[in-house]
Amino acid sequence: MPELVALQENSLANVPLLQSFSCANNSKLVLLHGTTFQRTSVVTSDNGNERTSTVVWPPLEKLILSNNALQRLDGTLVARWDRLKLLDIRFNPWLCDCENQWMVSSLIPILEANHPQFLNNIKCREPVEMANINLLDLDHKNYHMRCLDLFNHRPETDSILLIVALLVALLSVPLCLNLILCARKRRSAPPTCPNVHYSRAFYKPGVRTGSTSDVISTHYIL
């Protein structure tokens, strides 16, 4: 089913005796709801006054979910993962965050014990810093995956950017103060004159100069 995108809640609840489920090679399948196989059973007491609802799973023995686009796997999808005779979840772009921590802590050990032939190629796709890391390696390291926020911010990179921004701000403060002090000194200092040499020269005869008897010629020394 190449166009299959999701299996919604209770979508297979009407198959109470389901023993084998294979859903592989669906490149668009991104969602497998945790209640896909569940159905609700209502039990009435002997006197007929009380009704109790219980969740029932089918007697599933084989589950194949390989080569899809699944990022998450709900732990409530199957009643007892350790009782599956076959389990294949390889080749999916798993999101390695705290919601999938149960896969590392609980499901991978079951796979390693009961289905070791299906352990390879169960890898993280996101977050970026964990891409291509095998979930088996995370289990062996007792790794605890962090929770991603709503905006997919990455604290490990955001903190570096914050430190850089703080350093830039701290360095810019004295620079700005120096610029302000220099500007104030320039305003309060007397005006400076160029290096000028004055010499007297007699005015030429016949030239009217008004009341001034001298002509001052200015020579700039460069």
- 65 with 143, same domain: the answer is yes
By the 10 Å C-beta count (0-12 exposed, 13-18 middle, 19+ buried), 145 is classed as buried
Q: Determine the residue type at 122.
A: I
Provide CB contacts within 8 A for 51, sequence distance 6+.
Answer: 42, 43, 44, 45
Same domain? For 13 and 58 the reply is yes
Mean pLDDT for 94-120 is 97
- Amino acid making up residue 50: E
Instruction: Please give the tally of structural domains in the chain.
Output: 2
In Å, how far are 22, 59, 123 from 115, measured between CA atoms? 16, 19, 16
Are both 110 and 178 inside the same structural domain?
no
In a domain, 200, yes or no: no
- List the one residue out of 124, 115, 50, 138 whose CA is nearest residue 94: 124
Domain match, 170 and 133 both: no
* Residue 134, pLDDT score: 97
| Residues 27 and 61 occupy one common structural domain | yes
CATH code where residue 129 lies: 3.80.10.10
Q: What is the mean pLDDT of residues 81-109?
A: 98
The strand pair at 51-56 and 39-44 is best described as antiparallel
Which position has the higher pLDDT, 221 or 46? 46
pLDDT classification of 222: cutoffs 50, 70, 90: very low
Find all residues with CB under 8 Å of 42, minimum gap 6, and list them: 51, 52, 53, 54
* pLDDT (average), residues 34-58: 86
SS (H, E, C) 142-182: CCCCCCCCCCCCCHHHHHHHHHHHHHHHHHHHHHHHHHHHH
If asked whether residues 133 and 167 sit together in one domain, one would say no
78-87, 136-145, 195-204: least confident range: 195-204
Q: Same domain for 68 and 134?
A: yes
Residue range(s) defining the domain that contains residue 167: 154-187
Q: pLDDT band for position 161 (50/70/90)? A: low
pLDDT value at residue 202? 47
**Could you tell me if 144 and 183 lie in one domain?**
no
Return the sign of the alpha-carbon dihedral for residues 132, 137, 139, 142. negative
Same domain, 10 and 117: yes
35-39, 70-74, 177-181: which has the minimum mean pLDDT?
177-181
CB burial of residue 200 (10 Å; 0-12, 13-18, 19+): exposed
Based on the fold, state whether residues 84 and 139 are members of the same structural domain: yes
Task: State yes or no: pLDDT of 220 exceeds 50.
Answer: no
Do 164 and 97 reside in the same domain of the chain? no
Q: Which of 148, 178, 210 is the last residue of a domain?
A: 148
SS3 assignment for 15-69 = CCCCCEEECCCCCCCCEECCCCCCEEEEEECCCCCCEEEEEECCCCCEEECCCCC
- Mean pLDDT of all residues in the chain? 84
pLDDT at site 163: 80
Tell me the pLDDT tens digit for each residue of 112-143.
Answer: 999 999 999 999 999 999 999 999 999 999 99
Evaluated on CA atoms 33, 38, 40, 45, the torsion sign reads: negative
**pLDDT by residue (tens digit) across 207-219?**
444 444 444 444 4
